[in-house]
């Protein structure tokens, strides 16, 4: 039987997002929310021919939205962007944000500073692309979407907390969905101590991965062409077991 994300892990994610349903940020939303957009810029990606984008483990999609709003090649008519997450709470929040932005650029209060730079000019649509969100498990998403290829697939801090029973199948699943470019950001063995990182979400262990791990796991399907190291924050202002203290590394992988 194919392993999928168990209900106890899905419940744990829903608990976190329910806690912040009305106000406030999760630990990972207190990090730099512009880092995905900046990584895309640093890589110099040509996205003119990208029409379908998938964000795996999108959460409440604030980071994705900021990356799209800052990139005219993604925020254009004809581009379809799909975010998936196992948490229905996260997907509901993301859907409401997009609906607000499409109607009147009404920002969630807790993210007002992040979105303020993208205030729409009078009479100009705020969000031009077609963006939608689905409650879905990446470990069974490919079988339900056979032949559904995305030119750009993004995983910004999902793979390192994927259910251990399905982590070995993950590269093949991504490859079945991705036709061109895969962006991956994970906890980095190069910047973290050898001992396990503490869990930020109940029942969800963190997997720390080296560059060698990424090459060995994905090299059958992808060429690794660039990476950027995000160092540990040794003086975090957040609680000690959140994502702020863990070093991460972003990878740009191109489909073979």
SS3 201: strand
Q: 1-25 pLDDT, tens per residue? A: 568 999 999 999 999 999 887 778 8
Please state, in angstroms and rounded to a whole number, the distance separating the CA atoms of residues 159 and 177.
Answer: 15
pLDDT per residue, tens digit, the chain (256 aa), is 568 999 999 999 999 999 887 778 888 888 888 999 999 999 999 899 999 999 999 999 999 999 998 999 999 999 999 999 999 999 999 998 888 777 765 667 778 778 777 765 554 457 889 999 999 999 998 756 656 689 999 999 999 999 999 999 999 999 999 999 999 999 999 988 787 888 888 889 889 999 999 999 999 999 999 999 987 765 555 544 455 678 899 999 999 9
Closest CA to 229 of 207, 251, 213: 251
Q: Give the DSSP H or E segment for 227.
A: strand 222-230
Please state, in angstroms and rounded to a whole number, the distance separating the CA atoms of residues 84 and 133.
Answer: 6
Q: What are phi and psi of 207, to 5 degrees?
A: -100, 125
Please state, in angstroms and rounded to a whole number, the distance separating the CA atoms of residues 227 and 185.
Answer: 9
Please list, residue by residue across 45-60, b when 16 or more beta carbons sit within 10 angstroms of its beta carbon and e when fewer do.
bebeebebbbbbbbbb
Determine the Cα angle at 3 with ends 227 and 222, to 5°.
25
Closest CA to 102 of 131, 139, 133, 73: 131
Where do the domains of the chain lie?
Answer: 7-255
The structure tokens 């030119």 sit at: 151
Domain 7-255 sits in CATH at 3.40.50.150
Q: 135-185 pLDDT, tens per residue? A: 999 999 875 665 668 999 999 999 999 999 999 999 999 999 999 999 999
Residue 181 pairs in a beta bridge with 152, 254
Provide CB contacts within 8 A for 118, sequence distance 6+: 66, 69, 70, 126
Alpha carbon separation from 106 to 100, 111, 115, 140, 192 (Å, rounded) = 5, 11, 10, 34, 39
Please state, in angstroms and rounded to a whole number, the distance separating the CA atoms of residues 8 and 182.
Answer: 29
Determine the Cα angle at 205 with ends 199 and 206, to 5°.
85
């Amino acid at each position: 039987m194919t392993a999928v994300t168990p209900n106890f892990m899905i419940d744990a994610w829903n608990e976190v997002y329910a806690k912040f349903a009305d106000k406030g940020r999760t630990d990972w939303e207190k990090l730099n929310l512009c880092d995905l957009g900046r990584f895309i810029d640093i890589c110099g990606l040509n996205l003119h021919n990208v029409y379908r984008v998938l964000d795996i483990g999108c959460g409440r999609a604030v980071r994705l939205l900021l990356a799209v709003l800052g990139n005219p090649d993604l925020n254009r008519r004809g581009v379809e962007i799909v975010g998936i997450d196992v948490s229905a709470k996260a997907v509901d929040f993301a859907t409401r944000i997009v609906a607000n932005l499409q109607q009147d650029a009404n920002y969630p209060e807790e993210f007002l500073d992040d979105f303020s730079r993208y205030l729409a000019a009078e009479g100009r649509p705020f969000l031009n692309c077609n963006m939608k969100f689905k409650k879905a498990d990446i470990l069974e998403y490919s079988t339900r979407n056979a032949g559904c290829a995305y030119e750009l697939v993004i995983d910004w801090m999902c793979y390192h907390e994927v259910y251990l029973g399905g982590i070995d199948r993950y590269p093949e699943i991504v490859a079945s969905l991705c036709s061109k470019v895969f962006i991956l950001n994970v906890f980095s063995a190069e910047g973290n101590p050898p001992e396990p990182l503490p869990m930020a979400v109940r029942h969800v262990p963190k997997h720390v991965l080296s560059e060698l791990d990424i090459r060995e796991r994905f090299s059958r399907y992808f060429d690794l062409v660039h990476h950027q190291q995000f160092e540990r924050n040794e003086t975090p202002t957040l609680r000690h077991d959140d994502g702020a203290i863990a070093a991460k590394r972003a990878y740009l992988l191109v489909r073979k």
